[in-house]
Structure 1
Amino acid sequence: MRAWETTGGAGRVDRIRLTRRGTPTPGIGELLVRVEVCGVCRTDLHVADGDLPVHRPAVVPGHEAVGTVVDAGADVSRFSPGDRVGVAWLRSTCGRCRWCRRGAENLCPEATFTGWDADGGYAELVTVPAAFAYRVPDALPSEQAAPLLCAGIIGYRSLVRSELPPGGRLGIYGFGASAHLTAQVALAQSAEVHVMTRGSGARRLALSLGAASAGGADAPPPVPLDSAIIFAPAGELVPHALEAVERGGTVVLAGIHLSDVPRLDYQRHLFHEKRLTSVTANTRADGDELFRLAAALSVRADVTTYPFEAADRALTDLAAGDVTGVAVLSVG
């Protein structure tokens, strides 16, 4: 099969390379999936560029894969060949630790991740534990389902953790894949959304989706905010967001990687019970709920499709800020 693998070429166009590999064999409890499409996530870029050092040399990136089950290992009863499934970032957890037992499996110290610990969806075939695969609804096109598997799930978890009050004012910093999906969910739930982002195309997309305002990345919003989510991997935005939220407001850091946060002033940024919190991966329950909401609320990704052979160009465009909405690889 053909697959893209990381090279350690951080920040260059050769950060990944196209290779040929043998067909993977599904282990006990695993599915073998023929990939149809795979979303291109900023986390893939962080892995390829070394911001998140790879857990396996020459790992295949990609954790927003949708495809068809073609084979299964022993002890699989949940799926059958021909079923369409989604392969997401969270690949496995121990199921025994105190975090798993209390429903916070995203914090499991033994968790493994697709496209980081194990080969992912920038390939014609991928394996996934059946317990961590998602059944994709028939009515949802594959190119729409793929971005939900990470960008959508992380955005949804960030929105929940923002504790936005009903009808509240939500600030969104950065407006890429995850943010434009999250905005749609928030708007459908009657939030007033204000977007701060550097790209003019992203600002136009935000306004077209119904945002009340869209300004520069470090510009103050036109009104005080109840909550804010920072999707951009830019720590310098944290003080701006904390100043923008009102008393008792929450600022959520949605990224797996963030540049250094500048020194905060307690009185200006944190006093009056303002909260600063992060998001770590997701639980399977988050994904199940997001798939249900996406269908009910008609959430639609703004998709730019790249041929499988152009995965390196997709990452380069993403790094340059030249992707509006989400990028998706057409694999098979």
Structure 2
Amino acid sequence: MKAVVVTDFNSALEIQDVPVPTPGHGQVLVRMESSGLCHTDIHAAHGDWPVKPRPPFIPGHEGIGHIEALGAGVTTRSVGDRVAIAWLGSACGCCRHCMGGWETLCESQENSGYSINGALAEYAVAAAAYVTPVPDAVSSTDAAPLSCAGVTTYKAIKVARVAPAETVAIFGVGGLGHLALQYARIAGGFVIGVDIEDTKLAMATELGADHVINARTTDPVAAIQELGGADVAVALAASAASFDQAYRSLRRGGRLVCVALPAGNATLNLPIFDTVLNGKTVIGSIVGTRNDLADVFKLHAAGRTKVITVDRKLDEINQSIEDVLSGAIPARVVFQF
């Protein structure tokens, strides 16, 4: 089969012919139809984070396809089912986090395309219990970004407890941000889109943003404060400076939701006096659970969200990475098989 392979952190990704994997106990073999390119895949390929994957590996955690074979012991899935392979490849299922509904905090979890081979390949194996069925009303192209960009931002809005008529500032209107602003609107919020690309801000306006701010030409903190400040600021740009801007855009009682993971071990310096006296909250939000992803698919099937994608072929992986890093992609690249 054809697969994207990270051979080391300093080289271009390779398209290699590798054996089709065999599903083990509790696993399924999925033939890919679509697979999205997440910024996390780029960080993984470059070894950007303190905890690094181990080359060689196959990246990808937005994979959609049909099950072609079942491993031993699989009774909850069937051949022919269309499923999503998401970031949470598996978890222990019995720790305090898993039992409490926070399986994404499990310390024994495996992550697709990072600690185990992922979905940027013609076939992938995955734990049967951790693939999520895709409703018929959701196309495979749309389902791919929803499996990470969607469920990640849905969770961010959920943990922020956005209430109707609150102001939500989305810092970074790209693959994640274009969905985050839609979930904020579904929750009843007034949305401000912040980015440095006019094309992305135009997309944000088309998707219902109440205000947009170009942070390259305008101080977003001053602009948001002139609008009354943000009740919630969601940091989705992989830039440490944007996290600081997001924090300073908050009004009293505001909540900063940290989602993006800039390269290296970036830090956020918080003014203690301002945080305490103004009752501000900082929340770390990781990707959502399997239940969250099922909710994301339900919302999309009901016509509540729109996914903006650019179709590519798998052998365009390196050019696609360049395009994402340059800001040339409005939202999400999806590879079609």
Q: Deviations over 1:260-318 (max 9, x none)?
A: 23533223455311001111232212112211222224311111011121112111211
Relative to structure 1, the CA distance from residue 284 to residue 262 in structure 2 (aligned partners, 3 Å threshold; closer, same or farther) is closer
CA displacement at 1:105 relative to structure 2? 0.9
Q: Confirm or deny: 8 A CA contact 1:248 1:273 kept in the other structure.
A: yes
1:4 corresponds in structure 2 to 4
Q: Contact 1:37/1:328 (CA < 8 Å) preserved in 2?
A: yes
**Counterpart amino acid of residue 303 in structure 1:** T
Matched-pair contact (CA < 8 Å) for 1:28–1:75 = yes
Q: Matched residue of 1:177: which SS? A: coil
Quick one: distance in 2 between partners of 1:89 and 1:244? 30
Q: Distance in 2 between matches of 1:201 and 1:319?
A: 15
- Residue 25 (structure 1) aligned with residue 22 (structure 2): yes
1:123 aligned residue:
121
Answer yes or no: is 1:233 the counterpart of 2:233.
no
**Alignment-derived partner of residue 243 in structure 1:** 248
When the two structures are aligned, how many residues end up with a matched partner? 328
* TM superposition shift of 1:190: 2.6
Distance 1:262 1:72 in 2: 45
Q: Any idea what the Cα deviations from partners look like across 1:38-76, whole Å, max 9, x if unmatched?
A: 000000010011113543321101000001111010111
Query: Contact 2:240–2:262 (CA<8 Å) still a contact in 1?
Result: no
Match of 1:161 among 141, 159, 163: 159
Q: How does 1:142-161 map onto structure 2 within 5 Å?
A: 142-161=140-159
The residue that corresponds to 1:211 in the other structure is 209
Q: What's the secondary structure of 1:35's corresponding residue? A: strand
User: Quick check: 1:278 aligned with 2:284?
Assistant: yes
Segment of structure 1 superposing worse, 149-158 or 267-276? 267-276
* Mapping for residues 1-332 of structure 1, pairs under 5 Å: 1-10=1-10, 14-52=11-49, 54-217=52-215, 218-220=219-221, 221=224, 222-223=226-227, 224-257=229-262, 260-269=266-275, 271-331=277-337
- What's the secondary structure of 1:202's corresponding residue? helix
- Cα distance, 1:22–1:258 mapped onto 2, change above 3 Å: closer
CA contact (8 A) 1:155 1:179 kept: yes
Alignment partners' CA distance in 2, 1:258 and 1:58: 20
Q: Distance in 2 between matches of 1:242 and 1:258?
A: 19
Residue 56 of structure 1 contacts residue 118 of structure 1 at CA under 8 Å; is this kept in 2?
no
Closer, same or farther in 2 for the Cα pair 1:201/1:158, shift >3 Å? same
Work out the CA distance in 1 between the residues paired with 2:329 and 2:54.
28
**Residue identity opposite 2:12 in structure 1:** R
State the 1:93 CA deviation.
0.6
- Cα offset for 1:80? 1.4
Cα distance, 1:155 vs. partner? 0.3
User: Secondary structure at the residue paired with 2:15?
Assistant: strand
Task: Supply the AA of the counterpart residue of 1:176.
Answer: G
TM-score by length of 2: 0.93
Structure 1 Cα separation of the partners of residues 291 and 111 of structure 2: 16
Q: Counterpart of 1:236 in 2: which secondary structure? A: helix
More moved, 175-184 vs 293-302: 293-302
- RMSD of equivalent CA atoms: 1.6
Three-state SS of the structure 1 residue aligned to 2:288 is coil
Aligned counterparts of 1:119 and 1:87: Cα–Cα separation in 2: 11
Q: Is the 8 A contact 1:235 1:262 kept in 2?
A: yes
Displacement of 1:148 in angstroms is: 0.5
